[in-house]
């Protein structure tokens, strides 16, 4: 089982009745796993990809207010989006168990930040569980529901990429537990509390935390209880899995006490007293911030992030953990270096429609400012068509900011924002409403490939299907854009490159004089299994002797199927990856790329 599938199994077999999410690596397969279980077993009763993490959180939270066990999953930056309801939900508490899964990405492998969700749990004042493996993540789903219901509090489960994407032999999901009886019990003093009552709720929350920090079910445990000495190691999450193996391999299992923390916040008070009473030095190993370390709070005896013994940036790889433990235990020698393979530059797929859109953006606004967003299309960077990427939806608000900053210049730069369809639904719509109201002069290109491609082709509100492929209503992007008040809104296929460039030029002209212009660049993602057969016949392309090796196509179009073999001047087509989109026919200024009739 993939770690995320193990979490899905743990939730469903323990009675999760509603699960929601917005996709994001490394969390995406949690809801996908729950959806597969629903297809197989009919449970949970509701599984949903929501429009964003805040909406996902609020839907699942209302389910637990109705007495059901529910869960919401997201990646760590998604928790930023859901932080508003999270903070309030901690005060109001829960009725049915409520598990908030925030998957962290130390490294980071596919995120804007490597923030530590355990800090968000501290800020919200909710308990957080930190699994070291898929098996433990599955067990913790059960534990999370138990403590959530016992203390009437949301509980965070914080796996990291190495747990989410690890595989472990585990039994299939058990039979789903019976759902609790559903029924919302009105209690406005709690569920709609005014500020006066929030003070009482805050007091109650502090009391819950106090009790949680003494609950034996989540207490830290010494994994080698026979070991004794003046120094000890404390670890959580994946660092605990690495630490356990490394201490055994180094022959320190009998002499270096090793503790695993299951619940980094709130850290058990008796545990802090115990380790400070027993040991002269304590090494704390955790990803990514010193959450445990700051709660132990004795800088004279604690070694870790604050004194620089444990890196505060990046993943704690086994060799890093080994070096830290060797130094702490006074062992000579170095950890063996892991072999590495050369990296490959990430690029858009051969035939990706976004490539054509970016090429057109550069042609239509060659000296423009290009704001962009989160998705596969961030790789428009390689084509020089992406200048900024901040967070979900920021392409539009940053375009507005650049316009306001430059609007008094006599020659204003053209501004072109690019945003994916899923990201537009997620956080782009409020920014577009604001831009219309402020008459921001810019072009918005909605890269509409009919899916959330980067995270595994999850549906968007325009796809018309749900998490279990059930039919849903379709939200029309053109209607949405028009409803925001945009006067110029056209849709075109970027594969038709020349007319698409002409349309973008028209949009740029409109935006200079009149306000926001929107172009919807619609062509399905080539990897989306739902897209069905293409209406276009693939084009077989070859490069002729007219190619003089100028490299223009490689630099400005960068399709991975266009290759220049070392020692050869001429560019070639790699037929193994060419998708036959035919867009490159319009790129070569020497007309060296031509279509051939496969029958001849
Ligand atoms: S195919 Fe055309 S653009 Fe590409 S290297 Fe050859 S001549 Fe230059
Ligand atoms: S037809 Fe041209 S642009 Fe399309 S995938 Fe093949 S080489 Fe790339």
Using a 6 Å cutoff on CB, does residue 561 contact ligand 2?
A: yes
- What is the position in ligand 1's atom list of the atom closest to the CA of 543? 1
The secondary structure of 225-275 as a DSSP string is TT---SEEEEEEHHHHHHHHHHHHHTT-TTTS-EEEES--BSPPHHHHHHH
Q: What are phi and psi of 144, to 5 degrees?
A: -60, -45
What is the CA 415 to chain-centroid distance, rounded?
A: 27
| Ligand 2 neighbourhood includes 353 CB (under 6 angstroms) | no
Residue 215: CB within 6 Å of ligand 1? Answer: no
Ligand 2 within 6 A of CB of 562: yes
> How far is 469 from 465, CA to CA, in rounded Å?
5
Cis before 266 (ω within 30): yes
Closest CA to 85 of 96, 100, 68, 67: 100
All residues at 6 or more sequence positions from 161 whose CB lies less than 8 Å from its CB, including other chains = 25, 26, 103, 104, 105, 106, 107, 109, 315
590 lines ligand 1 (CB under 6 A): yes
pLDDT of 600 reads 62
What's the token pair of residue 510? 């409109």
What SS3 string covers 491-546? EECCCCHHHHHHHHHHHHHHHHHCCCEEEEEECCCCCCHHHCCCCCCCCEEEECCC
For ligand 1, the distance from its centroid to the CA atom of residue 542, given in whole angstroms, is 11
The number of the ligand nearest the C-alpha atom of 554 reads 1
Neighbouring-strand partners of residue 346: none
| SS3 assignment, position 178 | coil
| CA–CA distance, 506 with 208 (Å, rounded to integer) | 61
Q: Are β-strands 46-49 and 98-103 bridged in parallel, bridged antiparallel, or unpaired?
A: unpaired
For a mutational test of ligand 2's pocket, the pick from 347, 348, 349, 351, i.e. the residue with the most ligand atoms closer than 8 A to its C-beta, is 351
User: 67: how many CB neighbours lie within 10 A of its CB?
Assistant: 19
Ordered domains of the chain (ranges, CATH)? 3-212 (3.40.50.970), 218-329 (3.40.50.920), 353-531 (3.40.50.970), 541-595 (3.30.70.20)
Whether ligand 1 lies within 6 angstroms of the CB of 346 is answered as no
- Residue nearest atom 6 of ligand 1, based on CA coordinates: 547
The per-residue pLDDT for 128 is 98
**Is the Cα torsion angle 276, 117, 156, 58 positive or negative in sign?**
positive
Length of the chain: 600
For the record, the structure tokens of 131 come out as 């699994």
Q: How far from 289 is each of 265, 286, 323, CA to CA, in Å?
A: 12, 7, 18
Ligand nearest to the backbone CA of 571: 1
The pLDDT value recorded for residue 99 is 98
Counting ligand 2 atoms within 8 A of each CB, the residue from 493, 494, 573 with the most, and so the one to mutate, is 573
Angstrom distance (rounded) from CA 533 to CA 518: 28
d(Cα 514, Cα 346) in Å, to the nearest integer?
38
Index of the ligand 2 atom closest to the CA of residue 574: 7
Q: Is ligand 1 within 6 A of the CB of residue 438?
A: no
Helices then strands, counting H and E runs in the chain, come out as 21, 21
**579 C-beta closer than 6 A to ligand 2:** yes
User: How does pLDDT run along the chain (600 residues), one tens digit per residue?
Assistant: 999 999 999 999 999 999 999 999 999 999 999 999 999 999 999 999 999 999 999 999 999 999 999 999 999 999 999 999 999 999 999 999 999 999 999 999 888 899 999 999 999 999 999 999 999 999 999 999 999 999 999 999 999 999 999 999 999 988 888 888 999 999 998 999 888 899 999 999 999 999 999 999 999 999 999 999 999 999 999 999 999 999 999 999 999 999 999 999 999 999 999 999 999 999 999 999 999 999 998 888 999 999 999 999 999 999 999 999 999 999 988 888 877 888 878 899 999 999 999 999 999 999 999 999 999 999 999 999 999 999 999 999 999 999 999 999 999 999 999 999 999 999 999 999 999 999 999 999 999 998 999 898 999 999 999 999 999 999 999 999 999 999 999 999 999 999 999 999 999 999 999 999 999 999 999 888 777 777 788 999 999 999 999 999 999 999 999 999 888 889 999 999 999 999 999 999 999 999 998 666
588 Cβ closer than 6 Å to some ligand 1 atom:
yes
Q: What is the rounded distance in angstroms from the CA atom of residue 160 to the CA atom of residue 133? A: 9
Element (H, E) at 272: helix 269-278
Task: Report the alpha-carbon distance of residue 283 to residue 328 in Å, rounded.
Answer: 7
Measured distance CA(431)–CA(450) in Å, rounded: 21
Taking the CA of 581 as reference, the closest ligand is: 2
Nearest residue by C-alpha to atom 2 in ligand 2: 584
412 and 460 Cβ atoms separated by less than 8 Å? no
Q: Which atom belonging to ligand 2 lies closest to the Cα atom of 580?
A: 1
Which residue out of 582, 591, 595 has the highest number of ligand 2 atoms within 8 Å of its CB and is therefore the one to mutate? 582
Position in ligand 2 atom list of the atom nearest CA 562:
7
- Cβ of 551 below 6 Å from ligand 1: yes
Q: How many angstroms separate the alpha carbon of residue 24 from the centre of ligand 2?
A: 29
State yes or no: cis peptide before 26, omega within 30 of 0. yes
Residue whose CA is closest, atom 3 of ligand 2? 584
Q: Which of 250, 244, 414, 227 has the alpha carbon at shortest distance from 331?
A: 250
pTM for the predicted model, two decimal places: 0.94
Q: Is the dihedral of CA 481, 483, 489, 495 positive or negative?
A: positive
Is there a contact between 74 and 21 (Cβ–Cβ < 8 Å)? yes
| Residue 342, number of CB atoms within 10 A of its CB | 4
- Which ligand is nearest to the Cα of residue 494, counting in written order? 2
Burial of 306: CB neighbours in 10 Å, binned 0-12, 13-18, 19+: middle
Q: Tens digit of pLDDT for each residue in 473-530? A: 999 999 999 999 999 999 999 999 999 999 999 999 999 999 999 999 999 998 887 7
Q: What is the DSSP letter of 166?
A: -
Residue 352 alpha carbon to ligand 2 centre in Å: 9
- Does the beta carbon of 587 sit less than 6 angstroms from any atom of ligand 2? no
Residue 599's pLDDT is 67
- Alpha-carbon span 275 to 297, nearest angstrom: 12
Q: Which residues pair with 49 in a beta bridge?
A: 21
Q: Which atom of ligand 2 is nearest to the CA of 539?
A: 1
Distances (CA, A) of 73 to 49, 99, 447: 10, 8, 26
**Angle made by CA atoms 360, 457, 145, in degrees to the nearest 5:** 140
476-496 as b/e: b if 16+ CB within 10 A = ebbebbeebebebbeebebbb
DSSP code of residue 365: S
Residue 563: closest CA among 587, 534, 543: 543
Nearest residue CA, atom 7 of ligand 1?
547
The residue whose CB lies within 8 Å of the most ligand 1 atoms, and thus the one to mutate among 543, 544, 557, 563, is 543
Residue of the CA atom closest to atom 8 of ligand 1? 550
d(CA 132, CA 529): 34
Separation of 537 CA from ligand 2 center, angstroms?
Answer: 13
Cα–Cα distance between 380 and 374 in angstroms, integer? 11
Most informative mutation of 353, 541, 587 for ligand 2 (most atoms within 8 A of CB): 541
What the block records as the tokens of 396 is 């539009």
**Contact status, residue 386 vs residue 526, Cβ threshold 8 Å:** no
Q: DSSP letter for 44, please.
A: S
């Amino acid at each position: 089982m993939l770690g995320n599938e193990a979490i899905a199994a743990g939730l469903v077999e323990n009675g999760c009745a509603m699960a929601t999410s917005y996709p994001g690596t490394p969390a995406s397969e949690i809801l996908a796993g729950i959806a597969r279980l629903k297809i197989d077993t009919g449970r949970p009763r509701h599984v949903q990809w929501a429009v964003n993490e805040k909406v996902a959180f609020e839907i699942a939270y209302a389910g637990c207010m109705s007495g059901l066990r529910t869960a919401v999953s997201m990646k760590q930056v998604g928790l930023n989006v859901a932080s508003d309801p999270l903070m309030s939900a901690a005060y109001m508490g829960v009725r049915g168990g409520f598990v908030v899964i925030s998957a962290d990405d130390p490294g980071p492998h596919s995120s804007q930040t490597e923030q530590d969700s355990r800090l968000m749990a501290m800020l919200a004042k909710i308990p957080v569980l930190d699994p070291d493996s898929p098996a433990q993540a599955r067990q913790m789903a059960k534990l999370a529901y138990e403590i959530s219901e016992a203390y009437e509090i949301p509980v965070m489960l914080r796996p990291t990429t190495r747990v989410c994407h690890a595989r472990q032999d585990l039994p299939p999901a058990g039979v789903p537990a019976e759902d609790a009886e559903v029924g919302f019990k009105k209690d406005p003093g709690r569920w709609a509390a005014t500020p006066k009552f929030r003070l009482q709720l805050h007091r109650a929350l502090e009391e819950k935390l106090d009790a949680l920090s003494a609950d034996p079910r989540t207490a830290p445990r010494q994994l080698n209880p026979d070991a004794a000495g003046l120094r000890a190691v404390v670890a959580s999450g994946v660092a605990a899995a690495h630490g356990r193996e490394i201490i055994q391999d180094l022959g320190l299992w009998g002499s270096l006490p090793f503790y695993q923390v299951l619940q980094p916040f709130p850290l058990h008070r008796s545990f802090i007293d115990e380790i400070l009473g027993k040991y002269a030095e304590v090494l704390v190993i955790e990803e990514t911030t010193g959450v445990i370390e700051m709660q132990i709070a004795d800088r004279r005896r604690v070694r870790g992030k604050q004194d620089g013994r444990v890196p505060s940036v990046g993943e704690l790889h086994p060799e890093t953990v080994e070096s830290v433990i060797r130094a702490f235990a006074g062992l000579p020698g170095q950890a063996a270096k892991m072999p590495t393979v050369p990296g490959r530059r990430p690029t858009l797929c051969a035939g990706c429609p976004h490539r054509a859109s970016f090429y057109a953006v550069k042609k239509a606004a060659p000296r423009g400012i290009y704001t962009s967003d989160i998705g596969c299309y961030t790789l428009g960077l390689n084509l020089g068509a992406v200048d900024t990427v901040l967070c979900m939806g920021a392409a539009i608000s940053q375009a507005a900011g650049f316009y306001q900053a430059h609007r008094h210049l006599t020659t204003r730069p053209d501004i072109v924002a690019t945003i994916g369809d899923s990201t537009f639904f997620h956080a782009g719509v409020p920014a577009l409403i604001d831009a219309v109201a402020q008459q921001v002069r810019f072009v918005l290109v909605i890269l509409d490939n009919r899916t959330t491609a980067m995270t595994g082709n999850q549906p968007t509100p325009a796809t018309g299907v749900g998490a279990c492929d059930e039919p849903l209503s379709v939200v029309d992007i053109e209607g949405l854009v028009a409803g925001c008040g945009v006067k110029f809104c056209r849709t075109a296929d970027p594969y038709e490159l020349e007319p698409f460039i002409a349309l973008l030029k028209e949009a740029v002209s409109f935006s200079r004089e009149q306000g926001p212009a929107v172009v919807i660049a619609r062509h399905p993602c080539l990897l989306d299994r739902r897209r069905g057969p293409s209406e276009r016949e693939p084009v077989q392309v070859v490069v002729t002797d007219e190619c003089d090796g100028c490299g223009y196509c490689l630099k400005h179009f960068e399709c991975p199927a266009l290759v220049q073999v070392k020692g050869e001047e001429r560019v070639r087509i790699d037929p193994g990856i060419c998708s036959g989109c035919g867009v490159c026919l319009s790129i070569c200024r020497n007309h060296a790329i031509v279509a051939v009739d496969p029958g001849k």
